[in-house]
């Protein structure tokens, strides 16, 4: 569905966004009511109606986030990264492995600190990974490999610690470790025959509670996915099922009651269910539709996604796209990536240079904006390490 030059020893974070997270125009001014609130048991569920999505909202990134920052990463050879997932804490940035590259830890100035673990098949090594947690407060990094029966554990100096055994083997999954309370919460892709979709356990692998897979059971097909943005205080759960597609919800796991409570879904009515996924932000739900496109007898891919958004309070929304007003309206974000309370974009410098040059080609660009972008452009090394653009989500 979804699917160098050494300029300085320490890269420099460039705070170049002048609006400071305050959008000048309300992008929801042209939105309309596209959802209702319904009661399902004790849960209040927002139900969107796809038939009411008729127009497209232009949403600047500053509407959803605070100050946008650009960070050039350390250019040393051992610091070079690919296109891995990113987790951000108060003082650190963790970038996941890709191909044969291990996880890499940086500070908030872009300085490379250390590799986390090793690419391989030995003890405390990993090949493909599916999820990770940067727990700065407790000096821990947790990593979940694919098809794993344990979480790998490291400290922030890169030292391997005893792994956490999992109560069930996880083909694909998401998790959160509450280190002080010795509590692990896990969501797994619940293949047929698996007893749980969500469970809690201690750090020794002793299972405490579990939610039976029930109607959430999926065929043994790795095309399906598990997602969790962790952009609110809730433990959110979303299964993206495309084989075959079915109507589903984004859930919150209620630890006290040990149950999944639906929070958002779409009512497809009599229309065919497309490939879809739902995500949560502090003040909105958003998601996308994709239509399966057969490329060959054995390969089917998703079409270009159509994104939609719904305000949690007003229920206003529509189709939408986000543009990065750090650069300008021309910088539409192909797939907005929000994770652990941040918007994050990981770019090769040449990609950012191309975006800036496209904006600078606009003869109507205001003088102050042109100066700002020119300054950013001159700071970039096309042969350097990747550049991160990130911003904390507004609460």
pLDDT averaged over every residue in the chain: 90
Q: How many domains does the chain have?
A: 1
- Is position 222 within any domain? yes
- Is position 1 within any domain? no
CATH number at residue 248: 2.120.10.30
Band (302; pLDDT cuts 50, 70, 90): confident
- Is position 288 within any domain? yes
Annotate 171-218 with DSSP letters as a single string: SSEEEEEETTTTEEEEEE--BTT-S-SEEEE-TTS-EEEEE--GGG-B
- Is position 17 within any domain? yes
Q: Structure pTM?
A: 0.90
Res. 11: pLDDT tops 70: no
- Is position 135 within any domain? yes
The whole-number pLDDT of residue 24 equals: 62
The whole-number pLDDT of residue 188 equals: 97
Res. 10: pLDDT tops 70: no
Region of poorest pLDDT, from 106-110, 262-266, 330-334 = 330-334
The better pLDDT of the pair 53, 41 is held by 53
- Is position 6 within any domain? no
Res. 2: pLDDT tops 50: no
The whole-number pLDDT of residue 297 equals: 73
The whole-number pLDDT of residue 232 equals: 97
Distance, in Å, from the CA atom of 189 to the CA atom of 241, rounded to the nearest integer, reads 10
The whole-number pLDDT of residue 28 equals: 94
- Is position 4 within any domain? no
Domain carrying residue 73: 13-393
Q: Determine the 3-state secondary structure of 88 from DSSP.
A: strand
Mean pLDDT of 62-77: 95
Pair of tokens at residue 323: 């543009």
């Amino acid at each position: 569905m979804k699917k160098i030059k050494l300029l300085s020893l320490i890269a420099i974070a460039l705070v170049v966004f002048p609006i400071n997270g305050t959008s000048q125009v309300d992008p929801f001014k042209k939105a309309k009511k596209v959802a209702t609130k319904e009661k399902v048991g004790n849960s209040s569920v927002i139900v969107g109606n796809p038939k009411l999505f008729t127009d497209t909202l232009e949403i600047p990134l500053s509407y959803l986030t605070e100050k946008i920052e650009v960070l050039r990463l350390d250019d040393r050879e051992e610091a070079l990264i690919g296109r891995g997932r990113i987790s951000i804490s108060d003082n650190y940035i963790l970038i996941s492995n890709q191909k044969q590259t291990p996880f890499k830890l940086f500070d908030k100035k872009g300085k490379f600190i250390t590799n986390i673990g090793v690419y391989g098949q030995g003890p405390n090594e990993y090949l493909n990974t599916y999820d990770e947690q940067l727990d700065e407060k407790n000096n821990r990094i947790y990593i979940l490999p694919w098809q794993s029966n344990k979480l790998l554990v490291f400290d922030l100096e890169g030292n391997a610690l005893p792994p956490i055994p999992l109560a069930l083997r996880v083909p694909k999954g998401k998790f959160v470790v509450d280190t002080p309370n010795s509590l692990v919460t896990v969501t797994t892709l619940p293949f047929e025959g698996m007893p749980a979709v969500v469970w809690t356990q201690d750090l020794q692998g002793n299972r405490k509670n579990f939610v039976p897979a029930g109607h959430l059971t999926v065929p043994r097909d790795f095309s399906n996915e598990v997602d969790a943005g962790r952009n609110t205080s809730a433990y959110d759960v979303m299964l993206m099922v495309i084989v075959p597609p079915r109507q589903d919800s984004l859930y919150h796991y209620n630890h006290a009651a040990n149950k999944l409570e639906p929070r958002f879904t779409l009512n497809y009515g009599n229309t065919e269910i497309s490939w879809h996924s739902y995500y949560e932000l502090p003040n909105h739900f958003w998601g996308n539709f994709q239509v399966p496109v057969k490329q060959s007898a054995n390969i089917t891919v998703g079409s270009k996604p159509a994104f939609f958004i719904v305000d949690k309070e007003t229920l206003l929304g529509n189709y939408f796209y986000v543009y990065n007003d750090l650069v300008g309206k021309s910088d539409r974000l192909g797939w907005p990536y929000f994770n652990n309370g941040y918007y994050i974009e990981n770019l090769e410098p040449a990609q950012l240079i191309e975006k800036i040059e496209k904006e600078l080609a606009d003869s109507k660009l205001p003088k102050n904006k042109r100066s700002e972008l020119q300054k950013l452009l001159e700071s970039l090394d096309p042969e350097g390490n990747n550049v991160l653009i990130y911003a904390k989500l507004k609460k």
